[in-house]
Amino acid sequence: MRVSEGDVEVEAPDPRDGSSEGAGDAVFFNPEMELNRDLTVAVLRAYAERTDAGAANVDSGGGERTLSYLDAMTATGVRAARAAEAGYDVTAADVDPEAADLARENLALNDLPGEVVESDANVLLHSERFDVVDLDPFGTPMPFADAAVAGTRKLLCVTATDTAPLCGAHFDSGVRKYDTVPRNTDFHREMGLRVLIGALSRVAARRDVAVEPICSHATRHYARTYLDLTHKATAADKALQWLGFVHHCEDCLYREHEFGRIAHPPEDCPNCGSARCSTAGPIWLGPIVDNEFVDAVADEVTPNMGEWKRVSRLLDALGAELDTPTHYDQHRLCKQWGAPANKLEEFLDDLRDAGYEASPAHYGGTCFKTDADVTEIREAAEPAVDTTGE
Ligand SMILES: [Zn+2]
């Protein structure tokens, strides 16, 4: 079938055909990932602007340089084609010869320049370097993370679709893949994103590389992060200081976090005394976005993108989201208290009126962030039970 995304058109296998269920034989095309690709294009445009501005500041005299971009698991080549359209010097790689052929055809179909390589991502990334590398695997990206850090000069873009291991729902798999203790909490999407970034930061540190997440989100069934890399040991040391642990009470939903590589879990919940406290980590506790960069990305979202409205809403939410390492679910709290759930905006206004910071979380639904703890949230914002009998 012919698919059109942004300003490019590609041939792709119809995902409704039974043979193309992700790990099947046919080249994989996931229309669900259009939002992911739209946002990638906006990020790439904003990143090129930022790099040009940086180069002008140091007055290198070389003028603007086209950044190179590797789509390391290209499949149909749609992501690579869109990066080429955004002005990048594109290489598309796939280990599957059929996919490499299709990617080549799709670049040609759009008259876009770009090299297509039939190669395993790890082999390629250990032998060549690119300014920007995009890892968009089916499942976990971790088997490719070390090579990706080695092969990336500046920006590493990573998708993970294995949300169950990431958020601790598949605990053993999460421990193996991400070398951490993930916990299945009521803030599971945030847990997944921070397990992913934490694991990538440790892999990068082994190569004296620091990661700075400049845009990250958890949407539907995947987590995605854009990591600005600094190849410097002292910077890597500093980045590792953002790692730490979250202690979480399964009964009252109280949570607290601590930085460092050694955990000091409370014996019992400091809030309700329950012994059912669990600790997750090490995970990334630092910022997951650079607000200035997110604003710049929002300026690069254009109406020719199929998902531009949702991407814009997502970026607005990311820009306004409080920088705390966990979020709460308003409905879960209200259920816990036996209180009726009111509108999230009302609930957040009550928190702000009581002097706390509060924002919706980009994860959507009834997720929010605040600097109040669970008791303070209840005191400030518990909706009254309607006793008028109506
Ligand atoms: Zn508790």
| Per-residue pLDDT at 20 exceeds 50 | no
pLDDT level of residue 21 (50, 70, 90 thresholds):
very low
Cα 120 from chain centre? 24
Instruction: Kindly give the distance from the C-alpha atom of residue 253 to the centroid of ligand 1, in angstroms, as a whole number.
Output: 6
| Per-residue pLDDT at 5 exceeds 70 | yes
| Per-residue pLDDT at 17 exceeds 70 | no
| Residue ranges of the chain that CATH labels 3.30.56.70 | 328-387
Instruction: Kindly give the distance from the C-alpha atom of residue 285 to the centroid of ligand 1, in angstroms, as a whole number.
Output: 21
Instruction: Kindly give the distance from the C-alpha atom of residue 267 to the centroid of ligand 1, in angstroms, as a whole number.
Output: 11
The answer to whether the annotation marks 277 as part of a ligand binding site is: no
Closest CA to 324 of 226, 238, 222, 246: 246
Residue-wise pLDDT tens digits, 161-176: 999 999 999 999 999 9
The answer to whether the annotation marks 367 as part of a ligand binding site is: no
Residue-level pLDDT at 58 = 64
Residue-level pLDDT at 31 = 80
The answer to whether the annotation marks 172 as part of a ligand binding site is: no
Instruction: Kindly give the distance from the C-alpha atom of residue 40 to the centroid of ligand 1, in angstroms, as a whole number.
Output: 40
Instruction: Kindly give the distance from the C-alpha atom of residue 255 to the centroid of ligand 1, in angstroms, as a whole number.
Output: 8
Instruction: Kindly give the distance from the C-alpha atom of residue 70 to the centroid of ligand 1, in angstroms, as a whole number.
Output: 47
The whole-number average pLDDT for the span 267-282 is: 96
Cα–Cα dist 121/91, whole Å: 11
* CATH class for the region spanning 2-320: alpha beta
Q: What percent of the chain has pLDDT over 70?
A: 94
Cα–Cα dist 85/32, whole Å: 21
Instruction: Kindly give the distance from the C-alpha atom of residue 269 to the centroid of ligand 1, in angstroms, as a whole number.
Output: 5
Cα–Cα dist 381/81, whole Å: 49
244 contacts 282 by C-beta, under 8 angstroms: yes
| Per-residue pLDDT at 64 exceeds 90 | no
Residue-wise pLDDT tens digits, 292-311: 999 999 999 999 999 999 99
Cα–Cα dist 295/219, whole Å: 19
The whole-number average pLDDT for the span 242-265 is: 96
Residue-level pLDDT at 60 = 53
The answer to whether the annotation marks 252 as part of a ligand binding site is: yes
Chain mean pLDDT for the chain: 93
The answer to whether the annotation marks 94 as part of a ligand binding site is: yes
The whole-number average pLDDT for the span 109-120 is: 97
The whole-number average pLDDT for the span 267-272 is: 95
CATH no., domain 328-387: 3.30.56.70
pLDDT level of residue 24 (50, 70, 90 thresholds):
low
Q: What angle do CA 141, 72, 115 make, to 5 degrees?
A: 180
Residue-level pLDDT at 388 = 67
| Beta pairing class for 222-231 and 367-370 | unpaired
The answer to whether the annotation marks 299 as part of a ligand binding site is: no
Residue-wise pLDDT tens digits, 326-344: 999 999 999 999 999 999 9
Instruction: Kindly give the distance from the C-alpha atom of residue 250 to the centroid of ligand 1, in angstroms, as a whole number.
Output: 7
| Residue ranges of the chain that CATH labels 3.40.50.150 | 2-320
Single pTM value for the model: 0.94
Residue-level pLDDT at 226 = 98
Amino acid of residue 41: V
